[in-house]
Chains A and B, each alone.
Chain A
Amino acid sequence: MTRRKWLVLAAQVMLAVVVFGGWQLFTSLKIVDPFFFGQPSGIIKQISDWVHHGTNFGSIWDQIWTTMEEAIFGFLIGVACGIVAGVLLGQIRFLSEVFSPYIKAVNALPRIVLGALFVIMLGLGITSKIVLAAFLVFFVVFFNAFQGVREVDGNLVNNVRILGASRLQVVRNVVIPSALTWIIASLHVAFGFAIIGAIVGEVLGAQHGLGVVITDSMNNFNSDGVFAGMIIIGAIALLAEWLISLLEKRLLAWRPQVDTQASAV
């Protein structure tokens, strides 16, 4: 590592020490009330308590798994529907003209509220959360896929058509790979939405999941519990982000190497 990199790393560690150390210090000295604002040591204790003794709703792993299941299924369904709809509407002008006002209208709604509706319709189980997560993911991916398809270089399309490609071959060889750059960029944001969908769905009404654990902590004025739940979710999101970056690298291997500065952020 170069000197500069060490310097950055050192500054990063310092920043964490100052923020969390300060938090711990001020709450220990009772300048800030740990009852309302939580405390780093309390958060760690809470997590270890959950790991060793479970939550009020069973093992913590079950809660994590429930939320992940909802987020992952919602993510996959939303991505699949978003890509299919985006490519279809991007390719077939008639469809895009028919659907676009409706899609804009639904997009303008506060979709998170639909979660309440899904809980009423589909019950307290994981289905309602999967549907909410998929719904949120769909729009992100759809708009990107649609735009990606629209931005396809007409020259490339003409070239493969002259080489003898059928319409389906054009879509497979040109349209989808070209739109993939846009679609993959949307996946990072989309997984965040999947988690939001799962958690909000659980908060609105469920028997298991991290959302339930967080709501329970909130109802008991346990700020450490809320923070602990948040940190666990954050860890899951980071893991997912890492997996998506791997996928991105694999699928977009053909691209010229870009400056790594941007990905460092």
Chain B
Amino acid sequence: MRSNTQRDPQLRQSGRIELTGVTKRFQTPGGDTFTALRDVTMTVEPGEFCAVVGPSGCGKSTTLTMVAGLDRASEGTVSIGGQPVTGIGRGTSFMFQTDALLPWKSVLGNVAMGPLFRGVPKKSALTDAKDWLRMVGLAGFEDRYPHQLSGGMRKRVSLAAALINEPSILLMDEPFGALDVQTKAIMSNELLTLWDQSKPSVIFVTHDLEEAIALADKVVVMTAGPGTVKAVFDIDLPRPRGSVQEIRFGQRFTELHHEIWESLRDEVTRAYARTAAAAGESDALDRVAEVHS
């Protein structure tokens, strides 16, 4: 079940992610085949922060689930540290779009889960978890249940839970998408600080281009579905970048934003036109149904 990479600690350490000619098809309930990704080829170097932007429905999340080993590619290969991904790997952490905290476990219990599942003795797992909660600014909230926290605090818990396993790869699927603008900015700053300490390779999926540029070393633009890599932009803004709120007023930031948006805009427009057309179609179907009933 587990990825081959765990057998070789050296390879596990090297979090180089490679997708080569990856295509993913799904069977729809109606029996049709739906192509989510077509011929995706991209590489994330060890310790690189890679943001993936694209219109909604372009298969960004699907890419992540395949790197995580939750799903297999229909064609092509996904490999980590030179080894093909055949299942869930030990060195990978995932931060989901929606809350994936267990509501019946306390904050501390949620963060301690990772080490406990991996056989760390309970006492040291709890000590580690406390340390991580302090690092994400949640000391004193150990005994709360997730529903007693704000959205931003729950994201901090998720971040601590993802990082406590000391991943060499961190996959993030629009992790801050549901947060308000200010909280999002604060969380982004903290993410950068924490990332800088252990430097895992990151794939950060988002539809927010500013967020992508502010955080990443590299921005991958994907086409409207079936998704494929349209262009890759290197973000040459120096690190440490300081406050995410301020960096976006810099001249180089604006240039990059302009350049990448040129590429992204067509895809967004195309995706929008397609959903609008689909909506029109279903309206028509509704009208037909009305007439018949």
Q: Which residues of A contact B (CB under 8 A)?
A: 155-156, 158-166, 169, 173-174, 177-178, 180, 254-256
In the complex, the answer to whether B113 meets A173 with C-beta atoms within 8 Å is yes
Interface residues of chain B: helix, strand, loop or mixed (majority):
loop
Mark each residue of chain B from 83 to 106: 1 if its CB lies under 8 Å from any CB of chain A, else 0: 000001010111010101011110
**Contact A160/B117 with A173-B102, A254-B104 known, Cβ cut-off 8 Å:** yes
For residue B118, which residues in chain A have a CB less than 8 angstroms away from its CB? 164
**Contact A254/B94 with A162-B70, A164-B165 known, Cβ cut-off 8 Å:** no
In the complex, the answer to whether B98 meets A162 with C-beta atoms within 8 Å is no
In the complex, the answer to whether A159 meets B117 with C-beta atoms within 8 Å is no
Bound-complex Cα distance A153 to B161 (A): 18
For residue A166, which residues in chain B have a CB less than 8 angstroms away from its CB? 117
Partner of B90, one of A156, A164, A169, A178: A164
Partner of A177, one of B68, B92, B100, B104: B104
Residues of B in contact (CB 8 Å), total 23
Closest to A169 in B: B117
In the complex, the answer to whether A254 meets B145 with C-beta atoms within 8 Å is yes
In the complex, the answer to whether A162 meets B104 with C-beta atoms within 8 Å is no
For residue B70, which residues in chain A have a CB less than 8 angstroms away from its CB? 158, 161-162
Q: How far is the CB of B177 from chain A (nearest CB, A)?
A: 14
For residue B148, which residues in chain A have a CB less than 8 angstroms away from its CB? 256
Task: Judge if B114 is at the interface, Cβ distance under 8 Å.
Answer: yes
**Contact A165/B117 with A156-B100, A254-B103, A255-B103 known, Cβ cut-off 8 Å:** yes
For residue A160, which residues in chain B have a CB less than 8 angstroms away from its CB? 102, 113, 117
Bound-complex Cα distance A165 to B105 (A): 15
Partner of B96, one of A159, A177, A180: A159
Closest to A180 in B: B104
Q: Please, could you name 17 A-B residue pairs with CB atoms under 8 Å apart, sorted by A?
A: A155-B98, A159-B100, A160-B117, A161-B88, A162-B68, A162-B93, A163-B113, A163-B114, A163-B117, A163-B161, A164-B90, A164-B117, A174-B102, A177-B102, A177-B104, A178-B104, A254-B105
